[in-house]
Amino acid sequence: MQESVPNIYPFKVRKINGEEQPLSAFKNKVILIVNTASECGFTPQLKELQQLKDEINNSDFEILGFPTNDFGKQEPLNGSDISAFCEINHGVKFPVFDKIMVRGAHVHPLYQFLSDKKQNGKLSSKPRWNFHKYLINKNGELVDFFFPFTKPLSSKIKKKVQRLLNLDNE
């Protein structure tokens, strides 16, 4: 019997409109999960994340944004104001979910999993600021992370995403 590898599919997240979204809806996709904020020095990365999505232009690649107010209270917006800000100011078309906590006593279960090697079986990397990025393979498994200063359009991120997308084509 094969031991199952921990993945993100058991988790549910809340959409901006309040509906629950199971992450199993993103099965068989390479995913970049990013904690975002509208008033951060890294906020221009929202536009770069959308450019990355457009450049890779593959239906098997998705970016998921999770706004948080955990760092410097840099996400004062709530609900539909967050998605409107992302879309109007940065052209974001990828899913942006409801505001969550990514650290501390009330951290969202998804981020508990992503940041703790005991849970994800791969890496320990708690977000230290906004725009910390986690890379998930097509099996829903955490494979890497990138610090906020790693720009979405960096060759480091592009190459790793392309490599994960191309594994099925070889």
Q: Which of 31, 32, 34, 40 is catalytic?
A: 40
For residue 87, count CB atoms less than 10 angstroms from its CB and return exposed for 0-12, middle for 13-18, buried for 19 or more. middle
Q: Identify each DSSP E strand in the chain by its residue range.
A: 12-14, 20-22, 30-36, 61-67, 133-136, 142-146
86 labelled catalytic: no
Which contiguous run of DSSP H or E holds residue 166?
A: helix 155-166
Show which residues are catalytic.
40
